[in-house]
Amino acid sequence: MTQTAPETNRSGAGAAKERPVVVVRLGEITLKKRNRPFFVRQLGRNIRRALQGIAVRDVEWGPNRILIAPAPDFDWPEASERLRRVFGLRNFSLCQVLPWDVDAIREGVLRMAAERSFESFRISVQRSDKRFPGTSQELERSIGAAVKAASGARVDLSHPEATFHVEIMPGGAYLHSERIEGPGGLPVGVSGRVVSLLSGGIDSPVAAWRTMSRGCQVTFVHFQSFPYLDASSRDKAIALVGLLTRWQYKSRLHVVSFGDVQHQIVASCPPPLRVVLYRRFMLRIAEAIAGREGAEALVTGESLGQVSSQTLSNMATIDRAATLPVLRPLVGRDKEQIIEEARALGTYETSIEPDQDCCTLFVPRNPATHSTVAEAEEAERALDVAALVEQALANVETLEFSWPETAEP
Ligand code: ATP
Ligand code: MG
**Which amino acid appears at position 330 of this protein?**
L
Mutate-to-test residue for ligand 1 from 199, 222, 299, 319, highest number of ligand atoms within 8 A of CB: 199
As beta bridge partners, residue 94 has 22
Gap between the Cα atoms of 114 and 96, Å rounded: 14
Q: What share of the chain is helix, strand, coil (3-state, %, to 5)?
A: 40, 25, 40
Nearest to 29 by CA among 76, 108, 114, 88: 88
Which positions ≥6 away from 173 have C-beta within 8 Å? Answer: 97, 98, 99, 100, 104, 105, 108, 132, 166, 167
Pick the residue whose CA is nearest to atom 20 on ligand 1: 300
Instruction: Verify whether ligand 1 is closer than 6 Å to residue 262 (CB atom).
Output: no
Give the number of the ligand closest to the Cα of residue 351: 1
Length in residues, the chain:
409
Give the number of the ligand closest to the Cα of residue 289: 1
Half-sphere exposure at residue 27, Cβ-oriented, CA atoms within 13 angstroms: 19
Nearest to 303 by CA among 314, 295, 294: 314
Q: What is the three-class DSSP state of 148?
A: helix
Residue 365 is predicted with a pLDDT of: 82
Gap between the Cα atoms of 330 and 204, Å rounded: 9
Domain ranges, ordered by start, for the chain:
3-181, 193-402
As beta bridge partners, residue 233 has none
Residue 100 is predicted with a pLDDT of: 92
Residue 2 is predicted with a pLDDT of: 37
Instruction: Provide the angle, in degrees to the nearest 10, between the axes of the packed helices 136-151 and 102-114.
Output: 40
Mean pLDDT split into 10-residue runs, the chain, 409 residues: 38 59 90 86 94 94 87 96 96 96 96 96 95 94 97 97 95 95 96 97 98 98 90 95 98 97 95 95 98 98 87 96 98 96 97 86 86 97 98 96 70
DSSP run (H or E) holding 215: none
241 CA → ligand 1 middle, Å: 15
Instruction: Verify whether ligand 1 is closer than 6 Å to residue 256 (CB atom).
Output: no
Residue 407 is predicted with a pLDDT of: 41
Identical fold for domains 3-181 and 193-402, yes or no, is: no
- Pair 124, 166: CB distance under 8 Å: yes
Handedness of CA 248, 252, 285, 238 (dihedral sign): positive
- Pair 212, 88: CB distance under 8 Å: no
Pick the residue whose CA is nearest to atom 10 on ligand 1: 359
DSSP, res 357:
-
307 CA → ligand 2 middle, Å: 10
Gap between the Cα atoms of 29 and 47, Å rounded: 15
How many DSSP H helices and E strands does the chain contain? 13, 15
Instruction: Verify whether ligand 1 is closer than 6 Å to residue 302 (CB atom).
Output: yes
- Pair 215, 185: CB distance under 8 Å: yes
Question: Which ligand 1 atom is at minimum distance from the Cα of 306?
Answer: 6
Residue 33 is predicted with a pLDDT of: 82
Give the number of the ligand closest to the Cα of residue 306: 1
Fold annotation for 193-402: Rossmann fold (3.40.50)
170 CA → ligand 2 middle, Å: 54
355 CA → ligand 1 middle, Å: 13
Span 3-181 CATH architecture: 2-Layer Sandwich (3.30)
DSSP run (H or E) holding 174: strand 172-176
Nearest to 123 by CA among 92, 100, 156: 156
- Pair 179, 93: CB distance under 8 Å: yes
**CB neighbourhood size of 383 (10 A):** 17
Instruction: Verify whether ligand 1 is closer than 6 Å to residue 355 (CB atom).
Output: no
Nearest to 375 by CA among 326, 318, 335: 318
283 CA → ligand 2 middle, Å: 15
Residue 28 is predicted with a pLDDT of: 84
Global confidence as pTM: 0.91
- Pair 155, 172: CB distance under 8 Å: no
Instruction: Verify whether ligand 1 is closer than 6 Å to residue 308 (CB atom).
Output: no
Instruction: Verify whether ligand 1 is closer than 6 Å to residue 300 (CB atom).
Output: yes
Give the number of the ligand closest to the Cα of residue 310: 1
DSSP run (H or E) holding 119: none
Instruction: Verify whether ligand 1 is closer than 6 Å to residue 283 (CB atom).
Output: no
DSSP, res 159:
S
- Pair 254, 220: CB distance under 8 Å: yes
